[in-house]
Chains A and B, each alone.
Chain A
Amino acid sequence: MAERHHHPRPKPGPVALALRVAVIAYLFLLVAWPLFLVVQNALASGLGPISDLLADPDVRHALRLTAVAAAVSVAISTVFGVGMSVLLVRYDFPGKRILNALVDLPLSVSPVVVGLALVLVYGGRDGWLGPALEDAGVQVIFATPGIILATTFVVLPLVIREVVPVLEEVGIEQEQAATSLGASAWQTFRRITLPSIRWAVLYGVVLSLARALGEFGAVKVVSGNVLGRTRTAPLVVEEKYLNFDRDGAYATALLLVLVSVAAIVAVSLIRNDRETT
């Protein structure tokens, strides 16, 4: 990321060198070493615990549920996020400033509060809308739809935060040109707007996916954490650790670590690739 403003500095001064060492030490102690130890612990007794884990039907169910909920949530929040970004950047309407501030709200709401909020509205017993939905045959809380809602809530701002700055930067000349040449709004969006924001959308999707696969607090509240039904992979980590199945906990954690590190590496590669071309 920094390469753009690269100024050759052959020998760093003593202050710069001290700062470099301090920063590396801080990040090593806070992130790198602990992360390495988890991988080491997970692989300490070979690949046995991982294959045991993958053979457990409940764990497999949890992994599948996590993947499905994450995929659906990310799909929803991508469509919503792109639409909302275009509306916020390209159009004027009353209440826009408030909406602009509110879309960031999920980032600073505690996951437990997210779960509580959804239970209060969609809870089957005495939620605001829950009983009516249950009469219509839809159970939200303690079921998959609740897990999807909670995950979508949490990842909602991520695509918007990536797409909005890019939309602002590309400007509207090309879109106006397309419109003046007779393109419909949909054609303009698909041919002009979408290609210009595709990388931003991709970063947003990858980050959302990483967050969605790992969402813990909100899912814990809305899912009921029922083994083999609504328990997701992050909940498996907690349950196994608390039940003294350390190998299982570390093995599950390793799978989740691999996915999130892969996501971060992917985003970084895309970013660098794009900046050098």
Chain B
Amino acid sequence: MSGQMLHGLATLIVAVSLAGTAPPLEGKPQPTSQSSAKSAKKAARRAAKSAASADSSQPFPDASPERVVSVTEKVFPAVVRLDVAQEIYSEGKRNLRRGIGSGVIIDDDGRILTNYHVAGRAAEIYATLANKERVPAKLIGDDHWTDLAVVQLDMETVKRKNITFTHAELGESRHLIIGEHVMAIGTPFGLARTVTLGHVSNNERTFYPDRMRIDEQETGDFANWIQMDTPINPGNSGGPLVDMHGKVVGINTRGGGQNLNFAIPIDTAKPVIDGILRSASAEKKGRIDRSDLGMDLKPMQDLETFYGIDINKGVLINSVDRGSPAAKAGVKAQDILLELNGNPVNVRFPEEVAPAKKAIADLPIGSEVHMSLRRGHDILQLTAKTQKLEGAVGEEKEMKVWGLSVRDVTRRYANEQQLDDDLGVVVTTLSNGYPAAKAELRSGDVIRAVNLKPVTDIDEFIKLYEESVKRKDPRVFLQVRRDRGQQSVILKVNYEQEAAEGPPAKSPVKGPATRASAKP
């Protein structure tokens, strides 16, 4: 099976494609008589309720028809459809990408848990509740590393319209047993309030050594996945995976087709929710900060004999990033990390990589870490100071007048691209016909200076850009790094032309009347 196949995000049906793919909804079966249908429903509910209460002591109750109905009734009012416009940069501009996903309400204050790839970087969110009411919502914070985001329902609208909702109860994913029944609720292909049923196929799925990305951003480094055969499809993303007690055990995230689907364990999500809510404020989005030592870990499996290590002890250092805390502390590739602050780190199998990475990520940022390592036959004690974890994708902005979008060069990006340092901004996209494209700037170029003033980071670049536009510089001199070489680029900016593309200026007819008919 190809690893690639498993990695398709389950979300985001783009609005355009929805119209074409959604099956027709007309032709619903009509109840023969309203009253008989009602009484049948009532009876079923009673049966379901008794089923749910009787089995609450069982660790993994059967998915009897009654229980499936009772779980559905319990969770349904907490599941929402999310219509999201995400901020993306393309053709040198900030654009919005519309998509549909799912989410689950997690408290009485109207907070919704969903995927980063559904609602992260959202500029606009609408939540449709189980009772079909549509409520505006706002992004509280997001975390691409775990592919999670927390969204706030607009409670004023809720109050004003007197809308009711309930929240789902969060369970414990560590108690999941392979083979037990789990249900997914969500909005596959935009079909809101869809319930599906399946089993836990595996509760510690890893894709190691493959690395996953969401729009270039790293994800899935710090946790294994729940694998289930519960059908999910694009649009299910962000919706809850629930056990037969009706508790949320996971967030449906990836679909592999052929009944291979993956959810983020709720135990992974809980500290992320807390962290996002704790760090969020009215001005700033909530986020999770993690620690980094700048080393890549590899399972010891089958290498113990070579390195002369007891089975199940330590983790192999596969690689050490240049200039990272680990490199500064003197850690080398092929060292074996045995202990971190006195706690053993054992990675024999690929499934153990994510927990070990999480142990490093959870260390306080800037703290001293004592590492016990083995190199050849020696045991070394080294101390490193953690630094804040950065992704490869830096903050992105558009420079409208120049017709390009740029990203901050992060440490990790610099390391991946083997740049000398993390100074400058990297060109991501270009608008055709605008100065940057005309000057043949390319995606991937690192801009190091504007008019001979050095660009340290994106904030400095924005400042230099805004000053230049304000001055109406007809020529802007950029010093650029492309591959391993230096280049000089001149942007020729025609401010009249850029202005002309804005709203048409009021122009009273001054000349002779014939002018009015002159061709543009």
Is B one of A's binding partners?
Answer: no
User: B residues engaging A (CB < 8 A)?
Assistant: none
User: A residues engaging B (CB < 8 A)?
Assistant: none
